[in-house]
Amino acid sequence: MKPSAFLCAALLFAGLGSLHAEGVRKAIQFPKGQSSATLAASVVRGETDRYDITANAGQTMAVSISSKEENAAFTIYRPGYKSVVDDGVPTITGPTLAGAGEGEDAMKWEGALPASGKYLIEVGGTRGSASYKLTVTIK
Answer whether residue 13 shows pLDDT above 60.
Answer: no
pTM to 2 decimal places: 0.82
Instruction: Give pLDDT, residue 22.
Output: 65
What is the distance between the alpha carbons of residues 57 and 59, in angstroms, rounded to a whole number? 6
* DSSP-assigned letter for residue 116: S
**Are 49 and 122 contacting, i.e. CB atoms less than 8 angstroms apart?**
yes
| 48-65 average pLDDT score | 97
Helix, strand, coil percentages, rounded to 5, for the chain: 10, 50, 40
